């Protein structure tokens, strides 16, 4: 197992976390400390699916386990992933592997299908990188929202420019996801990786081409979270 390369805490805790009311909401880069996750990020069917869509060469950008314990307030505001991790091209997919059953009650991902083909929206507001788009962008499209549910072991693939969010877990069941972000081998990162680890940029499919592919777009660069993760950015933790 590679020596860990964490520059932020491994565990991201919900504000108000305590022994009586636990609030673990993320484990950063579990591949560094678990052979199970290290093998999964390379051998899961999701990697094959990514290769079919954006391959054949695929690299790992980062991995994490997102957790919504029963009754916790963790939620994600509407956002796109690409403004957090700009590359020279947008052939990038976030793979969600369901560890638990994901139901309508325990905080499933919500997506706006087809919006990955549209604009890359600003995630900055009043000079602060909030990690979320303006509410007006999604309020006008709420009738088109699809909620991504499925049993444990199911998977959901999200393009880096797809608008998505998730609500609180209002059930008595946990909702945990193993999430890996994979990108086309011929893309190069344009801003600091906010979740760097020893496996960042490792080839998980195909071979290195020695080329870079660039596609035209304009986008504001992100801000690396001052706190543990982008959850804090969405909560206003980077203000001040």
Q: Which residue has the higher pLDDT, 2 or 159?
A: 159
201: region left, alpha or beta (phi > 0 left; psi from -120 to 50 alpha) = left
Question: Which contiguous run of DSSP H or E holds residue 28?
Answer: strand 24-28
Is pLDDT above 80 for 239?
A: no
pLDDT tens-digit readout, 113-150 = 998 998 999 999 999 999 999 999 999 999 999 999 99
Inform me whether the pLDDT recorded for 95 exceeds 70: yes
Q: Are 5 and 197 in contact (CB under 8 A)?
A: yes
The DSSP output letter for 117 is G
Helix (H, G, I), strand (E, B), or coil: what is residue 94?
Answer: strand
6-18 confidence digits (pLDDT tens): 456 788 888 778 8
| pLDDT score of 79 | 97
| Nearest-angstrom CA–CA distance, 184 and 213 | 9
CA 134 vs. chain centroid, Å, equals: 19
The Cα 138–Cα 77 span in angstroms is: 10
How far is the C-alpha of 72 from the C-alpha of 171, rounded, in Å? 9
**pLDDT above 90: residue 61:** yes
């Amino acid at each position: 197992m590679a020596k860990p390369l964490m520059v932020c805490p491994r565990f991201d805790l919900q504000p108000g976390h305590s022994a009586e009311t636990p609030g673990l909401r993320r484990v950063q880069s579990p591949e560094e400390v678990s052979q199970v996750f290290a093998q999964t990020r390379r051998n899961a069917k999701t990697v094959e699916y990514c290769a079919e869509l954006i391959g054949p060469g695929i690299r790992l950008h980062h991995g994490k386990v997102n957790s919504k314990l029963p009754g916790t307030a963790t939620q994600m505001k509407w956002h796109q992933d690409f403004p957090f991790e700009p590359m020279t091209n947008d052939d990038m997919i976030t793979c969600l592997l369901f560890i638990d059953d994901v139901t309508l009650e325990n905080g499933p991902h919500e997506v706006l299908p087809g919006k990955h083909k549209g604009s890359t929206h600003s995630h900055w507001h009043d000079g602060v990188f909030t990690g979320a788009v303006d509410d007006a962008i999604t309020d006008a499209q709420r009738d088109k929202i699809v909620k991504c549910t499925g049993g444990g072991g199911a998977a959901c693939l999200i393009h880096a420019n797809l608008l998505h969010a998730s609500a609180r877990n209002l059930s008595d069941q946990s909702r945990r996801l193993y999430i890996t972000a994979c990108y086309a081998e011929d893309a190069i990162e344009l801003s600091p990786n906010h979740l760097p680890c020893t496996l960042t940029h490792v080839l998980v499919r195909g071979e290195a081409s020695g080329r870079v592919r660039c596609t035209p777009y304009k986008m504001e660069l992100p801000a690396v979270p001052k706190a543990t993760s982008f959850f804090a950015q969405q909560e206003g933790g980077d203000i001040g």
